[in-house]
């Protein structure tokens, strides 16, 4: 009987697929910066974009405050998805800044796009834009807000815009680099030629040792 039981146990083990012991749980999907939690609340200066107490909708469908982004440098631009000319180039510049960052610093910097056309830029439209331009969920936030709140944000960072036609806006060409408290430390006006200055502004927020690490 004992030999029979031993045989049955060995047979059962042999029938168990080897991969069954090595299957790993699927990784939790990355959350955009606006959905992170855990940082303590704090007060912000009038120069900080986080001082704007308004609700915004992320492309992931979640209602958030701008202050949810606090704690990391942000590379930010106002844009709209139907822009036929400059906005895709602004996004291209932002992606170039991201790519040029050292790998260990890249994971500690976030990127923010806020629509100036909330009527058309629904969360679904923003999500499609994210996919089209291959913007990482882990480090890019795409937001829309009420027109009056968008205007407050635009005024705070010195961004100008107005309807140029039925479908287009005339607007500033502006990328803002924000420190972890949401205050501007550098602004790039124009497209393409001076993105290195924006990159340098981000790097200045990290100690020299961090820049040398791989």
What domains does the chain contain, in order, with CATH numbers?
Answer: 33-212 (3.40.30.10)
- The answer to whether 108 and 72 have CB atoms below 8 angstroms apart is yes
Note the pLDDT tens digit of each residue in 175-214. Answer: 999 999 999 999 999 887 667 899 999 999 998 755 555 5
Note the pLDDT tens digit of each residue in 36-87. Answer: 665 666 788 999 999 999 999 999 889 999 999 999 999 999 999 999 889 9
Q: What percent of the chain has pLDDT over 70?
A: 77
Cβ neighbours of residue 13 closer than 8 Å, sequence gap 6 or more? none
Examine the pLDDT at 116 and tell me if it is beyond 70: yes
Kindly report the length of the chain: 214
Nearest to 181 by CA among 102, 76, 67: 67
Stated as kind and residue range, the H or E segment containing 141 is strand 140-144
For residue 115, list its beta bridge partners. 79
This prediction's pTM: 0.80
Examine the pLDDT at 25 and tell me if it is beyond 50: no
């Amino acid at each position: 009987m004992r030999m029979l039981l031993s045989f049955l146990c060995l047979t059962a083990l042999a029938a168990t697929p080897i991969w069954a012991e090595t299957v790993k749980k699927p990784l939790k999907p990355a959350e955009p910066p606006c959905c992170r939690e855990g940082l303590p609340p704090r007060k912000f200066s009038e120069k900080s974009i986080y001082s704007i107490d308004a609700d915004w909708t992320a492309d992931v469908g979640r209602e958030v405050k701008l202050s949810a982004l606090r704690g990391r440098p942000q590379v930010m631009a106002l844009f709209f998805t139907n822009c036929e000319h400059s906005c895709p180039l602004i996004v291209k510049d932002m992606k170039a800044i991201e790519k040029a960052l050292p790998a260990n610093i890249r994971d500690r910097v976030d990127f923010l796009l806020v629509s100036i056309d909330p009527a058309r830029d629904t969360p679904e439209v923003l999500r499609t834009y994210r996919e089209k331009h291959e913007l990482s969920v882990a480090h890019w936030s795409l937001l829309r807000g009420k027109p009056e709140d968008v205007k407050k944000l635009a005024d705070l960072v010195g961004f100008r815009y107005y309807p140029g036609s039925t479908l287009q806006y005339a607007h500033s060409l502006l990328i803002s680099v924000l420190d972890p408290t949401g205050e501007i430390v550098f602004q790039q006006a124009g497209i393409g030629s001076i993105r290195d200055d924006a990159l340098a502004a981000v790097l200045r927020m990290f100690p020299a040792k961090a820049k040398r690490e791989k």
